[in-house]
């Protein structure tokens, strides 16, 4: 069962509002946020991986429905390409928030 209890932190193609609307089917507000201790890279697709002393900027998407999470999981090809896990991000005002994020499943090392 997916849960919309937590927002979603995005760092790749879903940061683009037009692309996000195309995938989800509606406009969703994106709040700037930072994921500390992770670097962003790109192989076939965007990915993040742990790395001390760096940070990845992105956005937090609030108020996603369970149906939208199912759609996003399909878009991100869970569990083949990504696995959704919870992490802590920092919003621009310094507040920390627990969010879902899509972590790569190993293809990024190819």
pLDDT reported for residue 1: 46
Q: What is the CATH T-level fold of the domain 8-104, as seen in this structure?
A: Hypothetical upf0131 protein ytfp (3.10.490)
Q: What is the tens place of the pLDDT at every residue in 69-97? A: 999 999 999 999 999 999 999 998 999 99
pLDDT of residue 110: 73
pLDDT at 3: 57
Please, are residues 101 and 84 in contact by the beta-carbon 8 Å criterion?
Answer: yes
In the chain, where the domains are located:
8-104
Residue ranges of the chain whose pLDDT lies below 70? 1-4
What's the confidence (pLDDT) of residue 87?
96
Residues ≥6 apart with Cβ < 8 Å to 12: 40, 42, 45, 46, 47, 58
**What pLDDT is attached to residue 4?**
61
């Amino acid at each position: 069962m997916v849960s919309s209890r937590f927002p979603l932190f995005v760092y790749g193609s879903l940061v683009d509002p037009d692309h996000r609307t195309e995938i989800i089917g509606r406009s969703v507000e994106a709040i700037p946020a930072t994921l500390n201790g992770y670097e962003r890279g790109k192989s076939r697709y965007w990915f993040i991986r742990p790395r001390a002393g760096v940070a990845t900027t992105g956005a937090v998407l609030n108020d996603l429905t369970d149906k939208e999470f199912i759609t996003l999981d399909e878009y991100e090809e869970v569990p083949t390409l990504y696995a959704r896990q919870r992490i802590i991000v920092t919003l621009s005002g310094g507040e920390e928030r627990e969010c879902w994020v899509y972590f790569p499943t190993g293809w990024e090392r190819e």
